[in-house]
Amino acid sequence: MSKKNKNLGTPNVPNDHPRAESLHYRHKLVDLMFEKVVTPSGLCAHGRGEAFDYLLGEKTIPPSEKAMEAAIASLLLAKHPVFSINGNVAALVPESIVELAEVLDADIEINIFYQAPGRIEAITSILKKAGAKKILGLGDVEPTSLPNISSNRRIVDPRGIFSADVVLVPLEDGDRTEALKSIGKYVITIDLNPVSRTALYSDITIVDNIIRCLPLMVEYARELKGTPPEELLKMVETFDNEKNLVDSMELMRTRLGYLSKDIGARRQKIQPGANE
C-alpha cells in the first residue's frame, strides 16, 4: 500500500512504520478471522496478493485504470449486474462495495467456499453496517447450482450471479470463474495475480489491490454514469484483456529489473557499510 503515514489507529502498528498501511490491513483480516468473516485460507490468499502488489510497487498502474474504465462501462450497460462477495472482500472494502453497487444499481450476493455456523451472518453484518440494504445469497430462497463445477462453489442464489448478465467476482477462484464463463456470463475480476486462472478466464481483469481500486471504481462509476450507451459500448469493445494482462506483467518485469539494479543502494541505506 501507499507509504504515506496515515493515522490508521491500529494497535501495535506505529504510524511511521514504512509498511503501516499493509500491516493495518493484515491486522484487520486477522481480527475478522476471529469473527468468522475471514478464513485462514483467506489470509493465505491475501498474502499471495500482497506478493504481487510488491511487484506493482503497491500502486495502481495505467493498465489497471484502463481495465477499471471498461469494467464500469460494461456494468453500466448491464441489464442485471451482480457483485459476488467473499469474506476477504467484505473485510477489506465493505463501504466501497456497497457504494459501488448503489451507484451502478447492482445486486450484492455473498458467495463463500468455507461454510461455518455464523459466517454468513458475520459477513452480512459487516455489509449491513456499511449500508447494504439488499443482500443475496443468504439462503432465504432455495439455492441453485452453476453447471460445470463440482465443489460447493457451484451453489449460488438463483436471483444473483446465476441470472446476471455481467458479474463482478473479485478475489475469485478459477473454478467458479470458468463455470461462469461456460454459461455465457460477462466476467470482471480484480486480481493482483495477472496469471491466475481467474485473471486469464475473465473478460476484464483489473490487476490491482482491491483496497486501492474499489474507491477509484466508485469515482469512475460516478463520472461515467449518464454517458451515452454507444460511448460505453466503444469503451468495452476496444478493451483488450490479453493485451492489458501482458502490459501489467511487463510493468512488473520492469520494476523487478529496477529493483535488482537498485539492490546495492538499498542495502547500503538500510545497513551502511554492507557493500564495503
Distance, CA of 64 to CA of 46 (rounded, Å): 19
Helix (H) or strand (E) holding 145: strand 144-145
Smallest distance, ligand ATP to C-beta of residue 265, A: 29
Among 27, 35, 173, 252, binds ligand ATP (CB under 6 A): 173
Distance, CA of 142 to CA of 86 (rounded, Å): 20
Antiparallel, parallel or unpaired: β 144-145 and 155-156: antiparallel
Please tell me whether residue 45 binds ligand ATP under the rule CB under 6 A. yes
Produce one character per residue of 72-82: b if its CB has 16 or more CB atoms within 10 Å, e if not: bbbbbbbeebb
- Closer Cβ to ligand ATP, 49 or 160, answer by number: 49
Neighbouring CB atoms inside 10 A of 133's CB total: 10
Evaluate whether 205 touches 245 at the Cβ level (below 8 Å): yes
- Closer Cβ to ligand ATP, 198 or 248, answer by number: 198
Smallest distance, ligand ATP to C-beta of residue 272, A: 35
Smallest distance, ligand ATP to C-beta of residue 49, A: 3
Please tell me whether residue 46 binds ligand ATP under the rule CB under 6 A. yes
Compute CA 129 distance to the chain's CA centroid, rounded to the nearest angstrom: 20
Please tell me whether residue 198 binds ligand ATP under the rule CB under 6 A. yes
Distance, CA of 69 to CA of 231 (rounded, Å): 12
Smallest distance, ligand ATP to C-beta of residue 32, A: 13
Task: Calculate the alpha carbon distances from 66 to 37, 40, 63 in Å.
Answer: 31, 33, 5
Smallest distance, ligand ATP to C-beta of residue 50, A: 7
State the cell numbers at 73. Answer: 462501462
Smallest distance, ligand ATP to C-beta of residue 197, A: 3
Q: Which residues in the 207-226 window bind ligand ATP by CB under 6 A? A: 209-211
- Closer Cβ to ligand ATP, 52 or 186, answer by number: 52
Among 31, 95, 122, 174, binds ligand ATP (CB under 6 A): 174
Residues in touch with ligand ATP (CB under 6 A):
45-46, 48-49, 52, 92, 171, 173-174, 190-193, 196-198, 209-211
